[in-house]
Amino acid sequence: MIEISELRRIYRMGDVEVKALDGVTIDIIKGEFLGIMGASGSGKTTLLHLLGLLDDPTTGRIVIEGTDLCNLTDYEKTMFRLYKFGYVFQDYALVPDLTVMENVSLPAMLRKDRDDQKILDDSHDILKKIGLFDRRDHLPRELSGGQQQRVSIARAMVNKPDILFADEPCANLDSENSRMVLDLFREINEEMKQTIVMVSHEPWHQEYFHRIVKLGDGKVISDEINGHGK
Ligand code: ADP
Ligand code: MG
């Protein structure tokens, strides 16, 4: 589904060069729940940002279903982000002055091919799925961290993206809320056949992943099917 070859991202700060990613080659397979793991500073976020078109590689190629992402114009990249990708961040990134329902419908409203009824129906459906339909008129701050993260997952899912990217989505949650979030990812992966790429450095999250790519110093140090997962 996504072929990533020899991806490099070098940050230059004055005379200092940081090789955040140093030649990463992996394929992402449709329908898998892939975990990107590794120590802090190993390049996980950099890789996720490159895959999600939130940053450009220094060199290397990313090909999604035949389209080379490096050849896209800025406008085409924006369309890709909006129509094909969903994002979940560590700090939820909900809009504080919008209700749960408004936050969830936002990506659907940005698209030109959704009428009001479709946006309402899709938003309601996904809010029911995450178990927060009855909280739809609340503001984010009136919810717990775990609930806010589930709202951000609903927002990422409302456009039924080809790929869902999540960067340490449980980093600010206790283990009980982390489990709820991971169980929700598992459910949408299994029931909605959603491809998920999730970054984590918590060893116990491994049990949720079908496959684990471990990074170290910007390189892939292992890429293994998870015998214990699923
Ligand atoms: P991880 O998510 O695994 O903790 P990152 O991808 O955030 O790792 O960072 C990989 C390396 O790149 C680290 O050494 C980090 O300090 C460096 N880095 C990340 N972002 C920047 C940036 N914007 N400018 C300079 N160096 C950066
Ligand atoms: Mg990171």
Q: What is the pLDDT of residues 59-79, one digit of tens each?
A: 999 999 889 998 899 999 999
20 half-sphere exposure, CB direction, 13 A CA radius: 20
Per-residue pLDDT at 228: 56
Ligand 1, atom 24, lies closest to the CA of 11
Ligand 1, atom 12, lies closest to the CA of 20
Using DSSP, state whether 150 is helix, strand or coil: helix
In ligand 1, the atom with minimum distance to the C-alpha of 49 is 6
Domains of the chain: 2-225 (3.40.50.300)
When pLDDT is cut at 50, 70 and 90, the band that residue 230 belongs to is: very low
Ligand nearest to the CA of 50: 1
Q: What is the pLDDT of residues 191-208, one digit of tens each?
A: 999 999 999 999 999 999
Provide CB contacts within 8 A for 219, sequence distance 6+: 22, 23, 24
Q: What is the pLDDT of residues 136-195, one digit of tens each?
A: 999 999 999 999 999 999 999 999 999 999 999 999 999 999 999 999 999 999 999 999
In ligand 1, the atom with minimum distance to the C-alpha of 13 is 25
